[in-house]
Amino acid sequence: MSELGGLIHRMPITYLVYLIAIISMAGIPPMAGFISKWMIFQSMVGKGMIFVATAAFFGSIGSFLYVFRPLSAVFLGQLSTKHKKLKEAPVLMIIPMIILSLATVLYGVVPNMVLKIFSGIETSIGMKGLQLAGTQISGTNGILDPTIIAIMFGFGFVIALVLFLIHPKSRKVELMDTYTASEFIWTPELLHYASNFYAPFERLYENAPDTEKWYGALIKKIEELGQFVSYSLFSYKPSTIIFYIMTMLIGLLVWGGVLWI
Amino acid sequence: MDINYILTGMLTGFGVLVFAFVWQTSLSGITRKVVGRFHKRYGPKWYQEFRDIFKAMSKRGITHGWVYDFGVMMALGGIMATVMFMPVVTFVAFGQLDNFFIYVYLFAVGMLGMAMSAVGSGNPLAGIGVMRALTQMVGYEVPFMVIVLAIIFRDGTSSLSGIAAIQQTGGILTWNLVKMPIGTIVGFICLLGMLGKKPFETFIAPAEIASGPMVEYGGKQLGMLMIMHQFATFIEISLFINLFLGGATNIVFFIIKYMIIYILASLISQAFGRFKIDQVIKYFYRWPIVLAILQAGLVVWGRIG
């Protein structure tokens, strides 16, 4: 990932698809991911599951971190010289990407289209179904209306767009021409901050016990045991194999006989 | 769906938006003056923030490509949508729909837009600032949400105006400030983190990383981000008032509570130096989270508060 960067200038559609995907993954409205997150949080908070909820909140905020890193390292920033000739993904790939993104947005804005079916299944097997009314979803302690959230977000965006358009037009400046505290840098790779992105966060647990090492050691021990077994017992001679099979069958017969008596 | 309902909601939301902008921007100016007096300076005029915003908006600035502009619009749009859901006294754009989780996650649209635009400017200092802002967010959001879990569990509603209304039933004694004192302290510490006041100012750090995410901005983009900052501050402080200080029954109380909280936060900011980002995370995961779980435990298991 640290060798990429600036792909937005070559692959804008892929970038937009990725943006929609991460907004949904991080559980931000108006995408489909928010609906499921809201429902999970509703029931966790309603039941007062403190420790599970703490972990879930940490995971949900932490997801902003891990979805943002590829966005910034792969798509934003300066385009490396060796990637100058890159092209947008082929059309056959773009079509499914766009269809899936539209589905994400659609189910985020009008989730009741699918939730109606789930609610029907729940009632048919005797559970209490989801409480749906029009575009609203009722949880244990609140009502959510994703359509209104989407409309208000659109309204906010339009106000921002109007504010942007009525003010003086900006001058286009290249990405290499940024504030560097009077340092002269001509290599795009040096200006793009992509490697070791969350170093401060990783420093927090660098002294924590490493489970990976423990599992590695376990794997090695099991391998040694297997080697010992195959070395001491396995043989390519047919007679030995037949001897083992006969021993096993006799053993089974005796064991079975003990059981039958 | 009723079109009149939506239009009324939009209109109310727009009213809240205008109020939020005028009030928070004026208060920022007043606070600059108060802080100035604490420094034994004269301080700027109370309308200095308006001047700054209008000046930035009228200048012809630079742009670093479409994602730089689009991110700014997404940031301002997302934050304005969040403001429009905010209950101010009795003005609620969509009653019952002012769910707490909307504020946390619709707010995140704005933050994501700003982060995207800042990194899109191609400046490594902006990248560092965004990384720090996200890391700090992991620090303060978790304790804050655990406290709110306790409040929602006790009240049985996640509607912000509902939580405020429950606190107004018995005067000051039913405020969460009195019923959940530990939670309020944790909430206030998290509020300082949200507002980016010192000691949690690491992601801006003007002298160290040249204002972090803001480093490349100028002209109307900077002006829009300044407006966004005012709105974000409004959301954070209104959340605190509605969750812990019993909301407000009329606009005068709202303004007084708001002023006290904001000026207090700004003055506390003057007394501290800046934490390193490692220290910020360690701090939030040492005391606030332990106290938050303690408070939530008292409410959920002990039925106290």
Task: Give the pLDDT confidence of B169-215 residue by residue, as tens digits.
Answer: 877 778 888 888 888 999 999 999 888 888 888 888 777 777 778 88
CA distance A173 to chain B (A): 5
Query: With bands split at pLDDT 50, 70 and 90, how would you rate the model's confidence at A220?
Result: very high
Look at phi and psi of residue B217 and say left if phi exceeds 0, alpha if psi is from -120 to 50, else beta.
Answer: beta
Query: With bands split at pLDDT 50, 70 and 90, how would you rate the model's confidence at A224?
Result: very high
Q: Which two tokens stand for residue A107?
A: 């189910």
For residues B146 and A55, give the distance between their C-alpha atoms in angstroms, rounded to a whole number.
10
For residues B45 and B119, give the distance between their C-alpha atoms in angstroms, rounded to a whole number.
34
Quote the mean pLDDT of chain B.
86
Strand partners, B63: A172
Q: Is A32 in CB contact (< 8 Å) with chain B? A: no
Q: Where are the alpha helices (DSSP H) in chain B?
A: 3-38, 48-58, 66-85, 100-120, 124-155, 160-167, 176-179, 181-195, 206-209, 219-244, 251-271, 277-284, 288-300
What are the chain A neighbours of B300 within 8 Å (beta carbons)? 48, 50
Tell me what the mean pLDDT of segment B140-144 comes to: 89
What are the chain B neighbours of A51 within 8 Å (beta carbons)? 293
Nearest chain A residue to B107 by CA: give it: A28
In chain A, % of residues over pLDDT 90: 7
B62-63 and A171-172 strand pairing: parallel
Name the 3-class secondary structure at A137.
strand
CA distance A77 to chain B (A): 4
User: Residue with structure tokens 């070559």?
Assistant: A10
Name the 3-class secondary structure at A143.
strand
What are the chain A neighbours of B276 within 8 Å (beta carbons)? 200
Closest CA to B97 of B13, B187, B216: B13
Please check whether residue B259 is in contact with residue B150, taking contact to mean a CB–CB distance below 8 angstroms: no
Nearest chain B residue to A157 by CA: give it: B77
**Angle (deg, nearest 10), helices B219-244 and B3-38:** 100
For residues A164 and B87, give the distance between their C-alpha atoms in angstroms, rounded to a whole number.
27
Closest CA to B141 of A106, A100, A64, A78: A64
Q: Which residues of B85-116 are buried (b: 16+ CB within 10 A; e: fewer)?
A: bbbbbeebbbebbbbbbbbbbbbbbbbbbbbb
DSSP code for B128: H
Whether the predicted pLDDT of A180 surpasses 80: no
What are the chain B neighbours of A28 within 8 Å (beta carbons)? 105-106, 108-109, 112
Task: Give the pLDDT confidence of B228-256 residue by residue, as tens digits.
Answer: 999 999 999 998 988 888 878 888 888 99
Closest CA to B237 of B256, B209, B220, B224: B256
Task: Give the pLDDT confidence of A111-128 residue by residue, as tens digits.
Answer: 888 888 888 888 888 777
ipTM of the complex: 0.86
Nearest chain A residue to B303 by CA: give it: A48
Q: What separation in angstroms does the CA of A76 have from each of A2, B80, B103, B119?
A: 12, 25, 27, 6
Q: Is B178 in CB contact (< 8 Å) with chain A? A: no
pLDDT for res A261? 55
Q: What angle do CA A5, A28, A152 make, to 5 degrees?
A: 115
**Angle (deg, nearest 10), helices A146-166 and B3-38:** 60
Please check whether residue A15 is in contact with residue A8, taking contact to mean a CB–CB distance below 8 angstroms: yes
A136-138 and A143-144 strand pairing: antiparallel
User: Which of B58, B92, B220 is the mutation pick for testing A, counting most A CBs within 10 A?
Assistant: B220
- Indicate the helix (H) or strand (E) that contains A131: strand A131-133
What are the chain B neighbours of A159 within 8 Å (beta carbons)? 76-77, 80
Q: What separation in angstroms does the CA of B24 have from each of A185, B19, B157, B235, B238?
A: 41, 8, 28, 10, 11
Whether the predicted pLDDT of B220 surpasses 90: no
Nearest chain B residue to A194 by CA: give it: B127
In chain B, % of residues over pLDDT 70: 99
**Angle (deg, nearest 10), helices B124-155 and B277-284:** 10
For residues A37 and A30, give the distance between their C-alpha atoms in angstroms, rounded to a whole number.
12
Cα end-to-end distance, chain A, whole Å: 68
Q: Is B92 in CB contact (< 8 Å) with chain A? A: no
Tell me what the mean pLDDT of segment B29-58 comes to: 89
For residues A46 and B155, give the distance between their C-alpha atoms in angstroms, rounded to a whole number.
10
What are the chain B neighbours of A62 within 8 Å (beta carbons)? 138
- Residue numbers of A between 97 and 136 with CB closer than 8 Å to B: 134-135
Q: Residue B257: CB partners within 8 Å, gap ≥ 6?
A: B241, B245, B248
- Residue numbers of B between 107 and 136 with CB closer than 8 Å to A: 108-109, 111-112, 115-116, 119-125, 127-128, 130-132, 134-135
Query: With bands split at pLDDT 50, 70 and 90, how would you rate the model's confidence at A258?
Result: low
User: Which of B106, B216, B222, B285 is the mutation pick for testing A, counting most A CBs within 10 A?
Assistant: B106
CA distance B136 to chain A (A): 10
